[in-house]
C-alpha cells in the first residue's frame, strides 16, 4: 500500500506557495475560489454526502476511487462512510492542498491523493482494482467539462466486476422557454452599445449557448428527456441533433431551449437524486 501524503507528485509540479499567474492560467481548478463555490453549493455537496453516509453498508471496507478529488471532500465522505481506503486522483494543483486537508482531518492513513490525470496515473502500490468509483464530473449540463470520459476510462480500467459508480445514472432534459425581457437584455443590447451599432453580432450571439438561471414562469413546454445514460454501461457519444417544434406560445421562429439535468445514485437503498429544475 502506498504512503498517502506526498505520494505520486510528478517532478516539477509547483507547491501552492510557489504557483504563479501562469500556473493558475493553465490550471483553473488550482484556484481556491472555484472549490469554494462548489463546496458552498450545498445541494450538490450534501447530495453526495447523503448518498455515501446513508449507505454505509455499501462502503464498509471497500476500496474507493475518487476521480477528480479537488479538495478531497468526497474522499473524506467516503472514508466517513466506512471505506477501507480511498484513492483520490486530481490533476490540478489543488491536489497538494487536498493532501494537507486530508491529513489535518485525520484521514492520511486511509486516503491517498495521487496528483495527475486519471488517464495517465497508476494506482498506488497494493491496489490493482477498486470496488467503488465516486466522482463529481457533471459541470454544466453533463457535457460542459467533458469529464465523463475520464470517469468511464477509470471504470473500464479499474472498477471490479459488479463494482459501483456514484452517481450511476445521468439524465438530461430539454424544454422550451420564452423570456422577452431576457432576450432584450442579451440580444437587443448589441443594437446600441455606448451609442455604437454592434447589431451585426446578434446573429452569431443568438447561436451561443448561455448558462443562466431560468425563471419557472419562462418555461412554456413540458420537459422531455434528451439523454439518459447509465454510467455503468455507457460509452460516451454526444447527441448529434435536437429537433424543436415551433409553438404558438413563442414569438420567435426558433424558440430558445433550456437544458436541465438529473443524477441519481440508484445502487443505494436510500435513493439519492440531484436535479436542476425543471427536470422531473
The window from 55-63, 88-96, 247-255, 263-271 that contacts ligand SAM (CB under 6 A) reads 88-96
Strand, helix or coil for residue 272: strand
SS3 144: coil
CB 9 within 8 A of CB 115: yes
Among 63, 69, 159, 279, binds ligand SAM (CB under 6 A): 69
Sequence length of the chain is: 280
Please report whether residue 92 would count as binding ligand SAM according to CB under 6 A: yes
Tell me, yes or no, if 178 is annotated catalytic: no
Range 33-62, binding ligand SAM (CB under 6 A):
38
Catalytic (active site) residue 145: yes
Q: Which long-range contacts (CB under 8 A, 24 or more apart) does 207-215 make?
A: 210/186, 211/140, 211/141, 211/144, 212/182, 214/177, 214/179, 214/258, 214/278, 215/179
Shortest Cβ distance from residue 213 to ligand SAM (Å)?
Answer: 19
Nearest to 45 by CA among 111, 113, 134: 134
**Cβ-based neighbour number of residue 263 at 10 Å:** 26
Q: Which stretch binds ligand SAM (CB under 6 A): 10-18, 65-73, 218-226, 236-244?
A: 65-73
Q: Does 150 bind ligand SAM (CB under 6 A)?
A: yes
Shortest distance (Å) from residue 68 CB to ligand SAM = 2
Chain residues in the site for ligand SAM (CB under 6 A): 29, 38, 68-71, 73-74, 89-92, 94, 117-119, 136, 147, 150
Catalytic residues: 136, 145
Amino acid at each position: 500500500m502506498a504512503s498517502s501524503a506526498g505520494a505520486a507528485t510528478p517532478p516539477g509540479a509547483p507547491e501552492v506557495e510557489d504557483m504563479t499567474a501562469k500556473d493558475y492560467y493553465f490550471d483553473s481548478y488550482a484556484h481556491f475560489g472555484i472549490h469554494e463555490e462548489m463546496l458552498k453549493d450545498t445541494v450538490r455537496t450534501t447530495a453526495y454526502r447523503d448518498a455515501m453516509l446513508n449507505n454505509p453498508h455499501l462502503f464498509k471496507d471497500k476500496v474507493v476511487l475518487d476521480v477528480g478529488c479537488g479538495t478531497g471532500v468526497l474522499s473524506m465522505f467516503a472514508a466517513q462512510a466506512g471505506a477501507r481506503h480511498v484513492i483520490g486522483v486530481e490533476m490540478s494543483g489543488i491536489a497538494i492542498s487536498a493532501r494537507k486537508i486530508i491529513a489535518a482531518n485525520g484521514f492520511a492513513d486511509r486516503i491517498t491523493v495521487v496528483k495527475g490525470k486519471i488517464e495517465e496515473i497508476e494506482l498506488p502500490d497494493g491496489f490493482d482494482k477498486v470496488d467503488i468509483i465516486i466522482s463529481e464530473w457533471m459541470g454544466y449540463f453533463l457535457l460542459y467539462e467533458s469529464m465523463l470520459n475520464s470517469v468511464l476510462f477509470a471504470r473500464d480500467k479499474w472498477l471490479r466486476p459488479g463494482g459501483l459508480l456514484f452517481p450511476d445514472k445521468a439524465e438530461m432534459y430539454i424544454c422550451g422557454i420564452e423570456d422577452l425581457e431576457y432576450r432584450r437584455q442579451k440580444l437587443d443590447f448589441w443594437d446600441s452599445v455606448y451609442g455604437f451599432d454592434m447589431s451585426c453580432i446578434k446573429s452569431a450571439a443568438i447561436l451561443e449557448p448561455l448558462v443562466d438561471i431560468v425563471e419557472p414562469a419562462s418555461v412554456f413546454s413540458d420537459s422531455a428527456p434528451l439523454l439518459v445514460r447509465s454510467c455503468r454501461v455507457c460509452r460516451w457519444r454526444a447527441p448529434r441533433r435536437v429537433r424543436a417544434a415551433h409553438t404558438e406560445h413563442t414569438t420567435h421562429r426558433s424558440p430558445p431551449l433550456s437544458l436541465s439535468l438529473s443524477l441519481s445514485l440508484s445502487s443505494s437503498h436510500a435513493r439519492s437524486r440531484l436535479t436542476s429544475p425543471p427536470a422531473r
